[in-house]
Amino acid sequence: MLKKILSVATIGILVASAYFFTEKQAMATEVELYKNPQCGCCENYADYLRKNGFTVKVNPTHELVAMSKSAGIPEDFQGCHLAMIDGYFVSGHVPVDTVNKLLTEKPDIKGITLPGMPAGSPGMGGPKNGPFEIYQIGNGQPSIYTTE
């Protein structure tokens, strides 16, 4: 009997958490950020997103190469970490204006990427040496999504 009560309670919790998760997803501020465990700049980027109203969960992983590959990002276009937001991926140090543009416009793509770790980008510090070229990744070749 006790067992039965417990399992019912467990299901209740699972349902509640699933509901909670869906609710948050709809708000589009929940970010799952996957990063190299030793990378400091990715933590800075997580803080930058938090300051801009996102809720960020940071997940250290050694699997970024495989994850970027399965996301469809060619090797030369990979950012150093991978953030999952509202069904899209955001790879690298993409400025928040572009992230918001993506979440507002909801284009039919898989995600966007700022390759490398350009100086001056959010979380990186240093002087900005030129415009950031942010690429969109869909089913075809990567193409420029926006420049800022």
Partner 1 sequence: MSKQKISAYSRRKILTTSAGLAVSAALPNFGWASTGSSPTDIRLVAAAGKRKLDPAFPEASSILTFNGSIPGPEIRIPQGSNLTVTVDNQLSEATTVHWHGVRTPNAMDGVPYLTQKPILPQSSHTYKFKAIDAGTYWYHPHMRSYEQVGRGLYGSLIIEEKNPIRVDRDVTWMLDDWRLEKTGEIQDNFGNKHDMSHNGRIGNFVTINGKRLDKFPVQKGERLRLRLINAANARIFALDFQGHSPVVIAMDGQPIEPHKPDGGLVILGPAMRIDLILDLQQENGSNHGIIDRSYKGLEYQLTSLDYATRPLRNHKPDWGIKLPSNNLPEPDIQNAKRHEVLFHGGMMGGMILRNMGIKSTKPASMMGMMHSKNIWYINGVAAEGSIMDPMLKLDINRSHILQMTNATAWHHPIHLHGHSFKVLTRNGKPTKYQEWQDTVIMAPKETVEIAFVADNPGDWMFHCHILEHAASGMMGVIRVA
Q: Which residues bind partner 1 (CB under 8 A)?
A: 36-41, 59-66, 68-69, 75-76, 78, 80, 115-119, 124-126, 129
Q: With respect to partner 1, which residue has the nearer C-beta, 28 or 46?
A: 46
Beta strands in the chain (DSSP E): 30-35, 55-60, 82-85, 88-91, 111-113, 133-137, 143-147
* Rounded-to-integer distance, Cα 103 and Cα 83, Å: 13
Please report how close the Cβ of residue 67 comes to partner 1 at its closest, in angstroms: 10
Neighbours of 85 (CB within 10 A): 21
Residue 125 CB, nearest distance to partner 1 (Å)? 6
- In this complex, which beta carbon is closest to partner 1, that of residue 72 or of residue 107? 72
User: In the bound complex, what is the minimum distance in angstroms from residue 13's beta carbon to partner 1?
Assistant: 24
143 in Cβ contact with 134 (< 8 Å): no
- Residue 115 vs 142, nearer CB to partner 1: 115
Contacts of 18 (CB under 8 A, 6+ apart): none
CB of 145 to partner 1, least distance (A): 17
Smaller CB distance to partner 1: residue 68 or 98?
68
The answer to whether the beta carbons of residues 93 and 40 sit under 8 Å apart is no
